[in-house]
Amino acid sequence: MKETAGVFSFFLRPFFGLLLSSLFLICGIGIMDVYAQQISVLSYNIHHCNPPSQPGLIDVEAIARVIRDSGADLVALQEVDVFTERSGRYLHQAARLGELTEMYWYFYKSIDHAGGEYGNAILSKYPILAKGGWDLPNDADTEPRTAVYVDVMLPGGGAITFAGTHLEFKREEVTLKQAKSLAEFLGARSDRPLILAGDFNSEAGKSPINFLDKMFLRSCLVDCAPTIPEINPVKEIDFVMVRPKDAFRIISHEVITETYASDHLPVLVRLILN
């Protein structure tokens, strides 16, 4: 009986394979999509978990709720407090958000602030293989800025780099230098597919984003929704971008309308790793 079943399967396997392929094509699903990996990415400046309408209040749970509801696999966070007087001397916001969302986390300090630290963080549903960060160039009269990165292992195998940043907002020439540092550092450290997300404090058409557009593919290029302020937003300065451009396929780009938790609107991007 076992041998007969094996012969039966041998002759019918090509038929069922052809049938399955036909169904995929009829439904508009590419055969490679079955094997490709879909990834959801969120970029969110969290305003140290302080809702703009509630001065002095720290509401970590509100930020965690936005992240959970988004379904993101990878999250780049900016303006994260760790053990500061304004947010709580015993509160590590990145660690707490990781706990509330059940995600791996990594924090990289930009500056010492109010008795603690302030900087960028990453949350990941995927195991973190490597992590780090670096200081971006700045002038004496501008705030120190940094970038953070992790290498993560995807469920289907293979690894990608995910990086987050928060750039200078006062002087465009400094922001441009920082954009160049991002491209140089990330390009030199790994040839893995790369996703970069964050608050770039620059808009499409300005020199920092024009420079990055030469090397990265932004998730939205036309008629993109603004991300600040949280109510009646007028500027798009929060971006998700990928490199190399042919390594990913952008499925959707959404600016989430969430007006309580932060002074920025979160950007959610779904993409497929080819």
| Same domain assignment for residues 125 and 159 | yes
198-217 confidence digits (pLDDT tens): 999 999 999 999 999 999 99
**Is there a single domain that holds both residue 63 and residue 6?**
no
- Is there a single domain that holds both residue 28 and residue 92? no
Whole-number pLDDT of residue 26:
52
* Mean confidence (pLDDT) of the chain: 90
147 and 203 fall within a common domain: yes
From first CA to last CA, the distance across the chain in angstroms is 42
CB neighbour list of residue 219: distance below 8 Å, 6 or more residues apart:
239, 240, 241, 242, 250, 253, 267, 269, 271
Residue 197 has pLDDT above 90, yes or no: yes
* Percent of the residues in the chain that have a pLDDT greater than 90, as a whole number: 84
pLDDT score of 268: 99
| 78 plus 195 within the same structural domain | yes
The CATH number assigned to the domain holding 141 equals 3.60.10.10
Task: Kindly state whether residues 201 and 122 are assigned to the same domain.
Answer: yes
> What does the alpha-carbon distance between residue 187 and residue 194 come to, in Å, rounded to a whole number?
9
Residue 75 sits in the same domain as residue 202: yes
Q: Are residues 91 and 68 in the same domain?
A: yes
The pLDDT of 158-174, averaged and rounded, is 97
User: For residues 192 and 225, what is the distance between their CA atoms, to the nearest angstrom?
Assistant: 29
- Using alpha carbons only, give the angle 146, 178, 91 rounded to the nearest 5 degrees: 15
Same domain, residue pair 61 and 100? yes
Per-residue pLDDT, 178:
98
How does pLDDT run across 8-65, given as a tens digit for each residue?
A: 343 444 444 455 445 545 555 444 444 579 999 999 999 999 999 999 999 999 999 9
Nearest to 43 by CA among 267, 272, 219, 273: 267
pLDDT on residue 146: 98
| 164 and 129 fall within a common domain | yes
pLDDT at residue 180, as a whole number: 98
What's the pTM value of the predicted model, to 2 decimals? 0.87
Residue 136 and residue 41 share a domain: yes
- Residues 9 and 69 both lie in one domain: no
Domain that holds residue 26: 1-33
Q: How many domains does the chain have?
A: 2
